Amino acid sequence: MNVSEGSTVTYFVLLGFPGPWKIQITLFSLILLLYMITLTGNMAIICAVRWNQQLHTPMYMFLANFSFLEIWYVTCTVPNMLVNSLSKTKTISFTGCFTQFYFFFSLGTTECFFLCAMAYDRYLAICYPLHYPSIMTRQFCSILMSLCWIIGFSAHLIPIFFISQLSFCGPNIIDHFLCDVDPLMVLSCTPTPIIRHVFYSISTIFIVLTCLYILGSYTLVLRAVLQVSSSDGRQKAFSTCGSHLLVVSLFYGTIMVMYVTPKSSNSVAMHKIITLIYSVVTPALNPFIYSLRNKDMKYALHNVFFG
């Protein structure tokens, strides 16, 4: 359904993944399963950290906050995606679209900074173990977590506000399953490339800088671990950092393709698949990645589920 040229858009149509009814049912079931896994896994981690006194350390405090972030990251898009996959209209209001747009990018940016903070925590713990307790205090840990949330939710506030002030007079069909910057800018009847460039410049700066910081931190960590004489010590350090690096690789590998590489290199269908991976699949995998190789977390999770 298109909106006439003389009117103002009050809602958008999210096409999602068009296809026969059977495909829509299959897609709905798969996304719902991933969503439930994400909620259950991350809530279990939060409860495990909260209820187990041994996990009241900075590393697990970061992990619990990261799990809380992941819950909201998927919740800002997945419920609407589930409804639209079974709906004939597939509509979202103008306000709802830009609210989703803002929270999706703000939570994604917050995740970048949380991964940085977690990398910094591991760097201090492994490279400066004697100074770690005096530096990474509960108060300093809380300050770092607060900064992650504040920076994440302020980074894209101004450009998204200006994008929402553009004129949208039709058509109103978004060939995506969520409100993203490119589909929205295409629909604007008063295109302003400057706003789009500012948005992507901010995204690229945050993505590249945080990724370089994480890689730099783990390069120093790797050098320190290789100097450890005990094989058990090296194995424990690698086990602790390996989970974090796997999460970093999954998350940054996909968002760099979306927001750093040239846009013409990927089709619309590929954009949808890549977005689906980092916004739905990766959050469902993270609880398994962080718990399967961590004995303390496995023990705490066993207590959560089985008492």
Question: What is the CATH number for 274?
Answer: 1.20.1070.10
In the chain the first and final C-alpha atoms are separated, in Å, by: 53
| Measured distance CA(241)–CA(66) in Å, rounded | 15
Q: What is the pTM of this model?
A: 0.89
**Residue whose C-alpha is closest to residue 188's, from 64, 99, 303, 94:** 94
**Residue whose C-alpha is closest to residue 186's, from 128, 256, 263:** 263
Helices 58-75, 282-292: crossing angle, 10 deg rounding: 160
Domain membership flag for residue 5? no
Whether residue 18 contacts residue 175, with contact meaning beta carbons closer than 8 Å, is answered with no
Cis, peptide link before residue 283, omega less than 30° from 0? no
For residue 91, the surrounding DSSP H or E stretch is strand 91-93
The pLDDT score that the predictor gives to residue 4 is: 44
Domain membership flag for residue 110? yes
| Measured distance CA(161)–CA(51) in Å, rounded | 40
Averages of pLDDT over each 10 residues, the chain, 307 residues: 58 89 91 95 92 88 94 95 89 94 95 94 90 93 96 94 88 91 86 84 92 92 78 67 81 83 67 90 88 76 76
What does DSSP say about strands 11-14 and 91-93: parallel, antiparallel, or unpaired? Answer: antiparallel
The pLDDT score that the predictor gives to residue 229 is: 67
- Residues in CB range of 242: below 8 A, 6 or more apart: 293
Domain membership flag for residue 65? yes
**Residue whose C-alpha is closest to residue 142's, from 112, 106, 117:** 117
Domain membership flag for residue 3? no
| Measured distance CA(203)–CA(37) in Å, rounded | 29
- Tally of domains in the chain: 1
| Measured distance CA(152)–CA(144) in Å, rounded | 12
Residue 246, domain extent: 20-306
* Amino acid in position 208: V
Cα dihedral across residues 283, 276, 76, 253: positive or negative: positive
* Amino acid in position 302: H
The pLDDT score that the predictor gives to residue 37 is: 95
- Residues in CB range of 268: below 8 A, 6 or more apart: 175, 176
